[in-house]
Amino acid sequence: MGRMGWQFPSARAVRVLDIVIVVYVIVWAALGIAIGRDIAQQVDLADQVARVGATLRATGEGFEALSAIPFVGDDIGTVAERVVTAGTEVEASGRASADAIREMSVLVAVAVGVLPLLVLVPLYLPMRLAWRRDVAAVREALRRDGPTPALQRVLALRAVGSLPYDRLRAVEPDPWAALLAGDDGGLATAELARLGLVTGAQTPGGANGPGERES
């Protein structure tokens, strides 16, 4: 039953955090997709530039057919060549811009949608898996051997180290005296309730109520 330095306060808190993490993932993923799509829409402007360039190039190529006209053909040919060159450059620039915008939209979407997860998930996931293993180990011990005095003692000691002080005092006004006297049933039950392995357990206030179950 390996334990980490920091402990979740209860199984209910774990479920709430799971929901928060899922919402966090969905929000950032949706935000990344929305920003990526917004950037991708700028491709239309780059495509328009490319079409303008293609039109200039086609116009210049049309003028090149007039270069054979005597006297003015040379001048027209020179202008046509410049128009073709300008149109080709504008068209290439528009296409390059469109490709760059598409790549940027994907990169930004991934950065916005994934990078925040790489910050949070590596912190939360190990603690969540450790909690799951811990609960599974206690559940297996209860299933295999039942609530033996040794297990009850371990659970009571865990309760002293895991429960908030106000809840601990609500279960046992003097927890260490109870442990020394061997009266560790209440503390053990409180620890099982924290792990979500008790139903119908006694609440810290002393009244019977529904316990928590690990999800």
Q: 28: which 2 tokens?
A: 């950032």
Q: With a threshold of 0.75, does the pTM exceed it?
A: no
pLDDT of residue 123 exceeding 80: yes
pLDDT of residue 118 exceeding 60: yes
Report the pLDDT value the prediction gives residue 66, as an integer from 0 to 100: 62
* Alpha-carbon span 100 to 32, nearest angstrom: 18
1, 73, 126, 153 from 178: Cα distances, Å: 24, 110, 34, 11
Confidence of residue 210 (pLDDT cuts 50, 70, 90): very low
Report the pLDDT value the prediction gives residue 64, as an integer from 0 to 100: 66
Report the pLDDT value the prediction gives residue 209, as an integer from 0 to 100: 36
Other C-beta atoms lying within 10 Å of the C-beta of residue 125? 11
Looking at per-residue pLDDT, the higher value among 202 and 40 belongs to: 40
Average confidence (pLDDT) over 80-97? 84
Q: 131: which 2 tokens?
A: 């909690």
**Which of these, 104, 88, 91, lies nearest to 51 by C-alpha position?**
91
Average pLDDT, the chain: 79
Query: Does residue 193 contact residue 162 with C-beta atoms inside 8 Å?
Result: no
pLDDT of residue 93 exceeding 70: yes
* Alpha-carbon span 215 to 204, nearest angstrom: 22
pLDDT of residue 195 exceeding 50: yes
134-191 pLDDT tens trace:
889 888 888 888 888 888 888 888 888 888 878 888 888 888 888 888 888 888 888 8
Q: Which string of b and e fits 66-92 if b means at least 16 CB within 10 Å?
A: ebeeeeeeeebbeebeebbeebeebbe
pLDDT of residue 204 exceeding 60: no
